[in-house]
Amino acid sequence: MITLPGPLLPGTGGYRVLTDRRRLAALLQDLAPDRLEVSDRTTLRWTGRWARRARVPAVMVSHETADGVLRTWGLPETAARRTADALNTRTAHAYSRVVCTTEFAEREFVRIGARNVVRAPWASICWNGTRRSTTPCCGPGTRAGPRRCS
């Protein structure tokens, strides 16, 4: 796994973005990956097209809804939904697979009829104060109780 630093996006509570597409595309070309996993549905969505052209299987991981993100950025509900549907349609076409970590995230891909979507819950590391375990402990349908997920 390779992690690249990116500048902070103001007003997002610490979200970082990679804005230099040319540099990242050149790095991907140099690395010649045999697989690509992307979890930034905004600034890195274009890497699905890169992967398809390079004949590299690519997965987009979705743990939120695009329309929800767009609404937090101030778009009205109808506009957010329409924009999300257009973005998600392009995402589903660009990636070999879209992996949704929750039914909540999967809903908007089901809404557009995407057929390359699978649901795979994240297994988080749970810390209950005395031990760690790798069981799914956070998110909808789980009971985190006093545990902290990290």
Q: Where are the domains of the chain?
A: 34-149
Distance between CA atoms of 84 and 76, rounded to whole angstroms?
Answer: 12
pTM for the whole thing? 0.74
For the chain, counts of helices (H) and of strands (E): 5, 7
| Residue whose tokens read 């991907």 | 28
- Helix (H) or strand (E) holding 87, with range, is helix 77-94
Q: Provide the residue type at 74 as one letter.
A: G
Hey, is 47 helix, strand or coil?
Answer: helix
Write the pLDDT tens digit of every residue in 86-97.
999 999 999 999
Q: Kindly indicate the confidence band of residue 143, based on its pLDDT and cuts at 50, 70 and 90.
A: very low
Compute the distance between CA of residue 124 and CA of residue 131 in angstroms, rounded to an integer. 13
pLDDT at 123: 66
Mean pLDDT of 54-70: 93
pLDDT one-digit tens code per residue, 1-51: 777 788 888 877 787 888 889 999 999 999 999 999 998 888 899 999 999
